[in-house]
Structure 1
Amino acid sequence: MNTQFADTLLGSLIDGRYRIRARVARGGVATVYTAIDERLDRTVAVKIIHPASGPEGHGRMAGFVERFADEAKTIARLTHPNVVAVYDQGIHANRPYLVMEYVRGRTLREVLAERRRLNPDEALAITEQMLAAIAAAHRAGLVHRDVKPENVLVTEAPTGGAANLIDSVVKVADFGLAQAVEASADDEQASQLMATVAYVAPELVTDGHADPRSDVYSAGIVLFEMLTGRVPYDGNRPVDVAWQHVERDVPAPSILVPGVPKALDDLVTRTTRRDPGARPADAGALLAKVQAAREELGNPNTHTTVLRRVTDKPPAAEPTMAVEAVQPVQRPAWARLPEETPRGGRRRAADDEGAWSRLAPLPNRMMGDQRGRLAVAAVVVMLGLVAAVGGWWVGVGRYTEAPQLVNLDKVDAQAQATRAGLVLRYADPRHDGQVPKDAVLAQDPASASRILKGGTITLTLSLGPERLAVPDVVGKEFDLATTDLTDGGLKVVEGASRYHDSLPEGMVVATDPEAGTEVEPGHTVTVTLSKGRAPISVPNLVGKSLNEARSTLNQLGLVLVEPPTVKESDRPRNEVLGQSPADGAGVEKGAKVSLVVSQGPPQVVVPRVIGMPCQQARQMLEEQSFPVAVRFNRNGTVRFQSPGENSQVPPGTQITLGCL
């Protein structure tokens, strides 16, 4: 749909009810307008799907309309304060549309474009509400499939102030739309619609499968971008970016932005595991972890204190600095965690104390009677036996010895734990330069320690040696390139400079190792800088003869690589067909230039025409593209020919006939 066509919708009335007012945004699938619901007199957002093009597109549109209507009904039942509500759906000019809640605010993409990155409190506040919306969808059996900043709307905080992101209201849009479009598209379209490549989960790239854990991965990438101001991967083509999600682990945000709390590093790392089974099961599970992280970072008993200036002193007194703990942000009711201390604790303690006072005289009454004393003795003996057996069980019998699992691979460790009747759980893995990937790096409890039968051993697996990807710094100034490389945990040395046709002096033209190469932390990267354009421009030699090209190069102080490469061609012999470097390239004096020259057109064989009537011979030779010159009697018989029969000559060679 082009701009001219879209503008014709302005002012139009859809379904006799929705008057289109203005266009808000245009995406790859649909265009969004603001409209007035003339029946209810309220502002709404109308999303109209782009029209199909070509017969195949129109054929798929019929199936898409049915799928779109089913998805719209499902989304409309999804009621949550953080979900953009869907009011209506229909068809206008053979194009499906949705009528949705109009949210007065900005997309998270616009917020990041203005702020670049957010502080941890703001990032967690937005992530918490975003996950609350996605969790509601997961409980309803919906997978979003396209979680990204463009689909997250941030409205003005209820307390006022556009800059107050912590108290802002967040709403998530486009639930189910990606799935409806993908279901009606062909394979090529589906691969483009499965998700925005910067946020796509690895399993969507490899096999096209998506479940709630795919949304968890995308939400983790969005949190990474809010904390660092960038997505973890980029590339020249979307497919290059998509496969980086499959082949590489998302780095910790603190690598790019020093000072990001470790709790957030751990949260991003666990959420963006390449193995879906290692991520939280759905958005609800991830929401609980985000809320726990907010509690940890916002706990007034452990949070960093700040200084505030005390200004309520007499004018003559100097203002002083007082310490004030940062209080955690008050959560909305749907996001609060359970209270840690049960209410009514004191009352229950008082009731227990009263009950004990009523039972206190009981021992005196029992010891005053012989049968009571015998009963007490029997009970004491029984309790002694129970205590002995129980003591053995508590102290020895219920325990076994933890096996040695360190340095075993994951499969062998699991097998040995199963034989011992123990359960394994896994802590977050970590890099180690000595222990291979997926081998056990540590265990808790340690080997030979006592452990309950059927108990749990926590294993820490190795990620192998830590590897860092060399960032792409070509085209940057040396100082900026050095900052990018050192911030990435690498060392930098400046190598020899060289001329470059397009990059000015001082710009990076190459690195060794090249960009994208995975190396160990602290690896040295050699940076090659440009000396600017070389003083000599290589001339255009194509079409010139070999001798002419050789003379031109000699005059410029350039060296021809001898012998030149010969190639079959219908061009004349020794005519230049190609050159390297290309014409216009900058080189130094004495630089070598390679040429490709023609070996001339292929030879053809002259047929025998002696003894034939002169006119007949001439006609036959001209049909074979030979020019013919006749000597003496044109109506005679051919007595000689030049070149002679069976001679090999270039095409178009003139044949002379002598006729008598």
Structure 2
Amino acid sequence: MDTTVADTLIGTTIDGRYRITGRVARGGMATVYRATDERLERTVALKIIHPSQATNVHFVDRFTDEAKTIARLTHPNVVAVYDQGRHQGLPYLVMEFVQGRTLRDLLSQRHKLSPVEALAILEQMLAAIAAAHRAGLVHRDVKPENVLVAEAPSGGTADLVDAVVKVADFGLARAIEASTVDESGQLMATVAYVAPELVQTGQADARTDVYSAGIVLFEMLTGRVPYDGAEPVEVAWQHVDNDVPAPSTVTPGLPGVLDRLVARATRRDPGSRPTDAGALLSEVQAVRDGLGTVHVETALLRQVPSRASDATSLVPTVQSADATAIVPPVPAGTYHASHRPTWARLPEQGGGRGMPHRRAASPAAGGFFADRRRVVMTSLIALMAVVILGSTWWVTLGRYTEAPTLVNMTSAQAVAFAGEKGFEVLTGDGIYSDTVPKDAVVSQNPGPQKKIVKGDTITVNLSLGPEVHPVPDVVGIELAVAKAELESLRLKVKEGKSQFSDTAPEGVVISTSPKAGEQLKPGATVTVVVSKGRAPITVPNLVGKNINQARGDLQTLGLTALERPKDSDQPADTILAQSIKPGTGVAKNTEITLDVSKGPPLITVPDLTNQPCPQAQATLQGMNLRARLDINPNGFVRAQNPGPNTQVPPQTEVALTCL
């Protein structure tokens, strides 16, 4: 599957030196790319953290510590770090690029390994971890995902005995005396491989890595980890409560010496394990040498029957002190003529010590036996030629067939159809597709009609449907980091007009359009508005002041007043409200709208002439006016001041002449 299509960093040159050419893997915290060091003209791996982690100070510090940690370990089985730096605010590491696969990938493909292969890989793993232990470091996360198996000198990773193994990801490594619990109290290890002391006390030392290496050996020999459970904490406590079972209980026929090796490395009591990876390495080498001495044979001798009369037994079994097992061929160059049994040696090699001396046969007898020997040798050579030709045909052609076409099938249909053809189906990463329906097969490996081993596994990638991404919430994040996160989703970024903000520092995103959470297709544009920081002028509190005073205050600050008259019971020209809250920062010449009281509304004085004075007084009081009765309060109104229909403010006094 091509994973480079949706990544805008592909093709980017970082620090004018590292040109990114492809994406290798994407994890929860960081992404690893393949890059070309244009200065030294070599391929490197570039590991850069995700924008979402850029504000996590604890993680960034740990990321930087990884470079310093690995720089202390100069060892051929440790992935080297060449450089470190920052790109658009995101820290990155430049590391050695290992052409190959992880041990996890190999186990997913092959399920389990032969004892010789497993020990060959474990030796190099322990050599790398031993170098860390000598430097006073504990890896703390030994697992197949952190073991890289490079291509063997013979090409590919098929010959694991010759492959180069490198241990990666020392990001969790700490000094031996340091704690293995992070600041949040969470266990910093993978529960399938976690040592009991980590679960109980959270402390790690070199023996903790020894335990994890023992679990990895168990998995290589059996194709599974010893414990499983619904919850991680359940798995972790099984390491505390149980002894690791013998690998031979899962894979019958394994030599007992391997059971004892796994048991030694995975004792629940750290004091009963080898003291460090170097000590375990010595034991592994002794076991491997022992197995190799007992099981040495060549591909040629496997084709020759052990007796002339037993022509059907073409692959002998070798009995060791622990078990009877069929042993795979040893690598070329390890066989010596002395390893052959006496009956298979050539005349010039001799038949071995202690063979009785015979007198020379007569010419006639010698000719008879010579002819018979030629017949036997010719028959054996012919038999071996047939076997070798048959094996060659099987290895190169006979075991292969064509992969079925699974593209456009649903997942269930693909599994069923492949099963009918004798294949297993493994589901890989999904792929966005505008044409293939969601959950249908977009691609397969091997491809349709491509050569594949009978009964092998076909990896299919299912459609994720059309590619859409929710707009991430980048409000409160620096512009450079926000742009990197948006562009990583293949979204275009447009900067809107910057604005002052009383809460967001300068250079920080204060809003986006569309808003966070809205679904967008790749190529869509997101407009970001960035803070200019707090504005330079603070708006004063003007409510309750006279408009004349407010005008003067605003003019002094360099602000402009816009007046808006309002009916109110407040005295005329009193400020009732302002459009910008007091204390807000604003720029020079900002307009502030002020609501100004027009004063209480006027009242029209009624015509009270000839009315009884007490009645006229009551009328005025009901209209929020005051009455003054002159001469005879019980008489009739003969005159009034102000006169009828005059408009006066509330509580104005009206004088009534009563006669």
What TM-score do the two structures reach when normalised by structure 2? 0.44
What TM-score do the two structures reach when normalised by structure 1? 0.44
Larger RCO, structure (CA 8 Å, separation 6 or more): 2
- Bigger Cα Rg: 2
